[in-house]
Chains A and B, each alone.
Chain A
Amino acid sequence: MTKDRTRHMSTEMTCQELVELITEYLEGTLAPSERMRFDAHLSTCSGCAAYIEQMRMTIRMLGEISEESMSADAQRELLATFRSWKAGAAQRDA
């Protein structure tokens, strides 16, 4: 913490408060006054700057973890499902 202690006021955001507001901050749903307190805290606190960086990185990493694709068997089965659905639909239309 690099803050000047004499500037410490009761309205100043604490780190513990900040970590609970971080999603609202990232989502842009914090009230303007809260956002100001958040930004003011963030600009002077390296711990919270690291926390928000970790949160952003976590979100980015989550976007990379999906590697799900269907097995070849499942793909073939899916096509068979489609063809029999189509045949059934054609029969009903006839």
Chain B
Amino acid sequence: MDATTAVPPTDELELVLALRGGDEAAFTMLVRRYQAAMLQVALTYVPSRAIAEEIVQEAWLGVLQGIGRFERRSQLKTWIMRIVINRAKRRGSEEARTIPFSVMQPARDDFSPLVDPDRFRGPSDPWPGHWWSPPASWSQIPEDRLLSREMFEHMRHALDHLPERQREVITLRDVLGYSGAEVCNVLAISETNQRVLLHRARSRVRAAVERYLQQ
């Protein structure tokens, strides 16, 4: 997040100790550093921005109440994100009971092919399994089209329609830039599982971008 570059990086232990001591500057620094990511993660589980903001508020209170017990067995970032995810999941299941949230839930996954099989040559072809309809290079597409607001909206829509577990992984990995190991830690999943979910999610988002560019 850009906010971290505005402030010299401070050692995590110092921040934790300062926060325990009630240092408002330390709190503000942590908020600047993590809140955008927290909001992004909360939005993985609930459909509304207002609810996601409430979750982040609750999570900060959880951070303050728990900071005295934080033992640095995990990274501060990991610990904070776990608090967000716990609250968001609880809230997400409450919301699902009260409002018809099913519109946001994708069709049940998850063994459908990630690239349309019709794009490959069939078994009777001399080159079975090779492209019949190969993807086009994007290198000639202007950056401002690839990085346009419409494109990002389209990609967010694609993310919203992923199964939740895929959305969790791709949000942390690709949207927020966590490493694979960090994602495994935050979500308590195996490396293999992380990779499979990431693969499915990325393949789907790529296909969505391709469809958008062909419109």
- Chain A interfacial positions (CB closer than 8 Å to B): 1, 5, 8, 14-17, 19-20, 22-24, 27, 29, 45-51, 53-55, 57-59, 61-71, 74-75, 77-79, 81-83, 85-86, 89-90
Note all chain B residues with C-beta closer than 8 A to A29. Answer: 195
Knowing A5-B126, A68-B43 touch, does A53 contact B61 (C-beta < 8 A)? Answer: no
SS of A interface (majority) = helix
Q: How many interface residues does B have (CB within 8 Å)?
A: 55
CB distance from B130 to the nearest CB of A (A): 5
| Chain B residue with Cβ nearest A17 | B129
Q: Contacting chain A: which of B4-12, B75-83, B170-178?
A: B170-178
SS of B interface (majority) = helix
Q: Is B60 an interface residue (CB 8 A)?
A: yes
Q: Is B199 an interface residue (CB 8 A)?
A: yes
Q: How far is the CA of A89 from the CA of B68 in the complex (A)?
A: 11
| Chain B residue with Cβ nearest A48 | B131
Q: How far is the CA of A50 from the CA of B136 in the complex (A)?
A: 6
Q: How far is the CA of A85 from the CA of B57 in the complex (A)?
A: 13
